Amino acid sequence: MSQSLFIGLMSGTSMDGVDAVLVDFDTPSPKLIATHTEAIPEHLFKGLQRLCQPGQDEVNRLGRLDRSVGSLFAKAVNNLLASSGIDKSQVVAIGSHGQTVRHMPNLEVGFTVQIGDPNTIAAETGIDVIADFRRKDIALGGQGAPLVPAFHQQIFAKADKRRVILNIGGIANITWLPGNAEAVLGFDTGPGNTLIDGWVQQVRQQAFDQDGAFAASGKTDNALLAQLLSHPYFMQPYPKSTGRELFNNAWLEQQLEKFGYLDEADIQSTLLDLTCHSIAADILKLSNSGELFVCGGGALNIELMNRLQALLPGFTMTTTSALGVDPKWVEAIAFAWLALRHHQGLPANLPAVTGAKREAVLGARFPAA
């Protein structure tokens, strides 16, 4: 059996599908062999959205969805392998992120919950699964997130190059690679696509704002933008991480109470600027110049990319394609890499990023046998 093929599974805050990648780590730079996105069925999507709203906790629903999401992840793997022509016996392990349904690292007893039962994935694919990557870091006093900066450092860092890797999923996070391995930083900046997707879903019944066209048709309201940016999270020092617990439709409705006069497109534009301004402000705290590489779904939003570039004139800005990695698949590849690190018995967290007491081997193995 090859010792270099791993599968990465990722479903992010946006819940816009399960990304599956088959990666060969036999070369210094990971080689993407095959990709697949498994759509999340409507009934499962609605169940997950309900589960993600604080106050809707229900143990039976959690248990059912844990199994159902595990089966969906297994289906993604089986379809990925069918399309790639690679036999399951060739794959060392699957690295599964799971679906986050609650992320509360700052409570007195902090915790994070990802569902998608790894036992179910292992049973339905016949491949060992490595999962539960975040909770060891939290047990060590960390945020459990973001975990991708360690992967970014390994793949994208270059001596004497000041680089920012910006992942814009439902939540946006940045990795600062100043060209000195000891000084890597990373944290969640705040909302990425979660609010802009939620608003366009609500008022236009569209899954997302294609190219940012709806936002581009509106005009940002500066008073609303200032109110949104006054959220305490943006002032918090890093290490920090966030999710739908803070930035969700209920919070947005509260914020909009005084702004009933605004056009729907103006709200969309303002929400896009919230994403761009919060990201830019955090990047500028680290440096006013360098190279900025964007990945995640936000990299495909033309209006977002244009507005962000205008706020960061000192940075040359492009996507991770320029570094040889398709921006759509970076996070899924990162979870294949996290599985590789666990398999090798190597640490995968960066204490400077998460705030954990020390480096640690992350995740647990769920054998197919």
pLDDT tens per residue, range 276-321 = 999 999 999 999 999 999 999 999 999 999 999 999 999 999 999 9
Identify the pLDDT of residue 51.
Answer: 87
CA 185 to chain centre: 16
Query: Is it the case that residue 3 has pLDDT exceeding 90?
Result: no
Q: In angstroms, what CA-CA distances link 303 with 105, 182, 308, 310, 336?
A: 33, 35, 9, 11, 31
What ranges do the domains of the chain cover?
5-145+331-366, 148-323
Tell me whether the CATH fold assigned to 5-145+331-366 matches the one assigned to 148-323: yes
Identify the pLDDT of residue 342.
Answer: 98
| R_g (Cα) of the chain, nearest Å | 20
How far is 333 from 15, CA to CA, in rounded Å? 17
Among 322, 219, 297, residue whose Cα is nearest residue 262: 219
Query: Is it the case that residue 356 has pLDDT exceeding 70?
Result: yes
The class level of CATH for 148-323 reads: alpha beta
CATH of region 5-145+331-366, choose from 1.10.150.120, 3.90.100.10, 3.30.420.40, 3.40.50.720: 3.30.420.40
Identify the pLDDT of residue 303.
Answer: 98
Tens digit of each residue's pLDDT (9 = 90 or more) over 273-288: 999 999 999 999 999 9
- Of 15-24, 173-182, 190-199, 296-305, give the lowest mean pLDDT range: 173-182
